[in-house]
Amino acid sequence: MAGIPGLLFLLLLLLLCAVGQVSPYGAHWKPTWPTYRLPVVLPQSTLNLGKPDFGAEAKLEVSSSCGPQCHKGMPLPTYEEAKQYLSYETLYANGSRTETQVGIYVLSKGGGQESSGKSRRKRQIYGYDSRFSIFGKDFLLNYPFSTSVKLSTGCTGTLVAEKHVLTAAHCIHDGKTYVKGTQKLRVGFLKPRFKDGGRGANSSSSAVPEKMKFQWIRVKRTHVPKGWIKGNANDIGMDYDYALLELKKPHKRKFMKIGVSPPAKQLPGGRIHFSGYDNDRPGNLVYRFCDVKEETYDLLYQQCDAQPGASGSGVYVRMWKRQPRKWERKIIGIFSGHQWVDMNGSPQDFNVAVRITPLKYAQICYWIKGNYLDCREG
């Protein structure tokens, strides 16, 4: 492998959207997962840092006024900038912390861009509330809804491996320091509570679920990209608003794989889906789907109804996989928050998801697998 020179890196970024695309036409066309030639993101050096103070207040949403045109007008990152943004900080359960610098190597493309903005809007419901609360263990405990978990800081996360949860960076870090409770961060899994107190093999066949409860697992360590840790979260945009949590023990549930986000025009019906624990419906898992209205290289703009608490939800789609010839759901983004955007002089508001680009896929997959050879298929 060889490092990517700056000019070549920019050319690879510009060519990305042309790689692996499938024309959405033809009598027998199926929305098919594109094939990408992916880059490699590898650690180069690790530095020990001092313990953080865990003093930030948990914010269940972030806001930015930099909309699609603002993002599209931003220059592409240089190779050195991309390495800086994809370097990452790791926080361990004992409070120790490290910073890891990365290298990016030729095997394909990726990148991101940084933006800024200051705005906040509480309500994220568009017209008629189209969210669905998911009730009953037959739904809640079955895939794909069973992949949604609750963070002890109040956000949502998604199971993406046997011991890993993908969520939004702002759920554990405000851009300057870690939020209160992160050192003892836990992940909650919904499970039924039975009226007769029975559980597992000891519960009687007549036991009836009274309501759902959470079973909690402690987090062993967290990874947050340095593209997020550059100042106040509301000042740096949402491009790097993602984090990976590693649990202290396996969760033993089916998880959803991550994938590179296809262009919006290739998504089935142009729609995305996600489920989260919206604050206005406490104790409920809330599912929704909606059309993608606009996209940039790093973000998907949509008007899915959502409330604080849904942040960190995995945004997914279901598409046809050529090998092994089956339909498969994959996480293609992370629900981040809200943006109030000036669209050609007319104000418009969107909810925003961070796209999993090839570089972000390579980074997150390496965090999960620990071996870039296992991260060649996005």
| Residue 162 to residue 173: CA distance in whole angstroms | 24
- On whether the CB atoms of residues 365 and 68 are closer than 8 A, the answer is no
Pick the catalytic residue: 96, 116, 203, 235? 235
Chain position carrying tokens 């997962």? 33
Q: SS3 for 227?
A: coil
For the question of residue 203 being annotated catalytic, the response is no
Using CB atoms within 10 Å of the CB of residue 141, give its burial: 0 to 12 exposed, 13 to 18 middle, 19+ buried.
middle
- Per-residue burial over 101-140, b = 16 or more CB atoms within 10 Å of its CB, e = otherwise: ebbbbbbbbbbbbbbebeeeeeebbbeeeebeebeeeeeb
| Residue 334 to residue 243: CA distance in whole angstroms | 9
Helix axes 358-369, 79-86, angle to 10 degrees: 40
For the question of residue 235 being annotated catalytic, the response is yes
Backbone angles phi, psi at 362, to 5 degrees: -60, -40
Partner residues linked to 277 by β-bridges? none
| Residue 112 to residue 15: CA distance in whole angstroms | 14
Pick the catalytic residue: 71, 164, 170, 251? 170
- Coarse DSSP helix, strand, coil percentages of the chain, rounded to the nearest 5 percent: 15, 35, 45
Helix axes 6-15, 79-86, angle to 10 degrees: 80
DSSP code, position 80: H
For the question of residue 241 being annotated catalytic, the response is no
Strands 271-276 and 186-194: what pairing?
unpaired
Helices (H), the chain: 6-15, 68-72, 79-86, 137-140, 358-369
- Take residue 228 and report the two structure tokens written for it: 């997020």
- Select from 315, 302, 241, 247 the least CA-distant residue to 276: 315
- On whether the CB atoms of residues 335 and 306 are closer than 8 A, the answer is yes
The sign one gets for the Cα dihedral 267, 18, 336, 330 is positive
Active site residues: 170, 235, 311
